[in-house]
Amino acid sequence: MTFGARLAAAIDQWGPLCVGLDPHPELLARWGLPDTAESLAAFGETVLEASVRSAAAVKPNSAFFERHGARGIAALEHVLRRAREMEVLTILDVKRGDIGSTMEGYADAYLANGVPLETDAITVSPYLGFDSLRPAFELAEHTGKGVFVLALTSNPEGHEIQHAVGVDGVPVAASIAAQAAALNVGATPMGSVGLVVGATTGSAVSDLGIDLAALNGPILAPGVGAQGAGAAELLQVFGNARHRVLVNQSRGVLNAGPFVEKLRGAIQAASGAAQYTLQSGGSQD
């Protein structure tokens, strides 16, 4: 089964929430955990236990594991392995982007079957040229994995590149979206090449002429909760593409930890709110 099909099934069953697994030092301290690699594994276990049958996916942020060196990577391997055992979909946030054999190496590291850091999908950066990512797309198609391409990110600095007009006269973000859509043509229930589009990007989708409904793939939406976006922003940004949106929340739910039951309740509440907004358009009818 393709990643797109598995994610669509998970969203249908558990709601359109992706839990951002971001074990930054301040959050570990809030949970009463020291800033160690061992804490990362314990933190990850708790988030996974709370996310099973409550969220469509989890998104570990590789940076917070990498900062602990080899032990941190071992903790990330543990979290990814436990997620597979629990049948929780993982999107590893690595934002890789390179050329040729180097990109092949990154693809092999995460998207091949049976590797230590095997994950269901990764995030990638297209700013060395969209086609430079082809090794990741090709391997993901072969192994049934997914790829999320940065398009319109939630950080305020993103517009410097993403809103710029390319040599073809098309805004960079619009070009990325169109090329991603071309890889999903004919896929059912949806393709496995997604976009990262921040819920904080306001009118940028319409201003730049981006047709998100044509993507036929998942849209990972950071920026909800602690970064300020709510129901109104989700509807403004995603419009008639909202049924493909996977809302990412990290601090907004993880602050409910460290106890599994309370964290699960926060995840279920966030998932229910996202589902209501995206399916009903926020209407009370």
Catalytic residues: 95
Tell me which amino acid residue 93 is: D
Answer for the pair 28, 258: CB distance below 8 angstroms, yes or no: no
Instruction: List all residues 6 or more positions away from 19 whose beta carbon is below 8 Å from its beta carbon.
Output: 47, 50, 51, 55, 57, 58, 59, 248, 249, 250, 253, 254, 267
* Helix orientation angle between 37-51 and 69-86, rounded to the nearest 10 degrees: 20
Polymer length of the chain: 285
Residue 70, burial from CB neighbour count under 10 angstroms (0-12, 13-18, 19+): exposed
Task: Show the tokens assigned to 52.
Answer: 């099973």
Gap between the Cα atoms of 141 and 11, Å rounded: 20
Task: Count the neighbouring beta carbons within 10 Å of the beta carbon of residue 164.
Answer: 10
Using the CB atoms, write b or e for 204-223: b if 16+ within 10 Å.
Answer: bbeebebebeebbbbbbbbb
Of the candidates 232, 226, 228, the one whose C-alpha atom is nearest the C-alpha of residue 266 is 226
Of the candidates 93, 216, 203, the one whose C-alpha atom is nearest the C-alpha of residue 150 is 93
